[in-house]
Structure 1
Amino acid sequence: MDQIQTLAADFRIRLDNYRRDDGLSLQSFPHGACGDASILLAHYLAQHGFGPFRYICGRRGDSSHVWLSDGNLIIDITADQFEDFEITAFVSTTSGWHDALNGEDQHEATISVWGPDWEARFQAAYAALMSVSTITNGQ
């Protein structure tokens, strides 16, 4: 779990520093970007030998929210778009916050899930993200 936490945090920094949209919903990241960010994160984790992960979608009032799961593990890099969640790269086996969203397993989180046009968008964004610096605030 520590490796996944480190990778999720690294990927979150990449998304924070990303300044393109490549036809995805990343321009206001993390707001409204949970679905696309989760698909990209699942691909990143797969490139490092983890997965497969499931695309989980829950609801909170009029809002939906997406995160990754492998059954017992919750991975969420966009929950901080909500006022009552502050962790930018959340990885845990328990979360009352996520439980309250009554998430449903939608499908495997893979960049090819919505066909070749979307896969091309995800591939372009992923390639650009891999060139983004993960250095923050003079570190």
Structure 2
Amino acid sequence: MDIDEIERLSREFRAKIDATPKDQFSINMIFFPGSCGDTSLLLSRYLDEAGMGKFNYISARKGERTHAWLQSGKLIIDITVDQFPEFDDPCFVKQEHPWHDTWTAEDKGEANWQQMAGAQAYALASDYDIILNSETD
């Protein structure tokens, strides 16, 4: 697993999201970076299409807060971590981290929104296409 390439692609995808006007997104993504679950699902597809393989979707809770990220073994990929005051860098791609360990996390299995049905799957497909067509500097 090429962690440097995963980080590069994760930063590239985050830049594309940041370059997309919020009014083009579905209702879920307008709250970005607070839409960590949908963002993780979209990033998983991007990484898979780039040949980086499959990642698991981690759903977590700490008190009343919820969060989500991708994981493969001990590798954590979190491109919405900057919604929390402890982080300035929007992209977190590292082997383990004590901050993520403070969450009660549940591994939901492979992050694959394409297996979903209905309005959420349609919204994610639409958002994914919009993000891919975003111009970055």
Query: What's the TM-score once normalised by structure 2's chain length?
Result: 0.90
Q: State, as a whole percentage, how many aligned pairs show the same letter.
A: 36
Equivalent pairs, count: 133
Partner SS for 1:115: coil
The residue that corresponds to 1:130 in the other structure is: 132
Alignment of 1:20-59 (within 5 A): 20-23=24-27, 25-31=28-34, 33-59=35-61
Q: Which has a greater percent of helix? A: 2
Alpha-carbon separation, structure 2, partners of 1:113 and 1:5? 25
Whether contact under 8 Å (2:25, 2:130) holds in the other structure is: no
The residue that corresponds to 1:3 in the other structure is: 5
Alpha-carbon separation, structure 1, partners of 2:115 and 2:92? 24
CA RMSD of aligned residues (A): 1.3
Are 2:64 and 1:62 equivalent residues in the alignment?
A: yes
Runs of 4+ in structure 1 deviating by more than 6 angstroms, as ranges, are none
Are 2:102 and 1:79 equivalent residues in the alignment?
A: no
Match for 1:29: what amino acid? F
Offset, 1:18: 1.6
Alpha-carbon separation, structure 2, partners of 1:47 and 1:119? 18
Whether contact under 8 Å (1:8, 1:41) holds in the other structure is: yes
Alpha-carbon separation, structure 2, partners of 1:15 and 1:109? 18
